[in-house]
Amino acid sequence: MASFATINDVTELWRPLTAEETARAKQLLEVVSDSLRMEADKVGKDLDSMIVENPAFFASVVKSVTVDVVARTLMTSTDQEPMTQTAESALGYSWSGSYLVPGGGLFIKNSELNRLGLRKQRYGVIDFYGQN
């Protein structure tokens, strides 16, 4: 199946890519597109048919989410731990840091799934007293 975005979309919506990033991005575009299809399938929706039904705006939203996920993955360092925040102390010998992707790899944020309408709201009631 086709990717939801192209290398040109990544460079236009995010930034120009190096040769190494371009090679990674080509592979990531397919993986991210298939991952989004899988997330849609989990909630009983077909992302490709949703694009066909509402091509005026939904295709650009899917493209934007795909580029966001690819860009975040490209920003993740491959030769060292990707830190987003660090703190150090001197005499107390303290150090702390926050990782960009704690488990590594590709991830799709809940807010991105919300933009695509792929998050289910759940509801339920707990009957503490049971039936009489």
Ranges of each domain in the chain: 7-115
Predicted structure pTM score: 0.76
Q: State yes or no: pLDDT of 132 exceeds 80.
A: no
The string of DSSP letters for 88-124 reads E-STT--EEEEESSTT-S----HHHHHHTT-------
- pLDDT tens figures, 99-122: 665 555 788 999 999 999 998 666
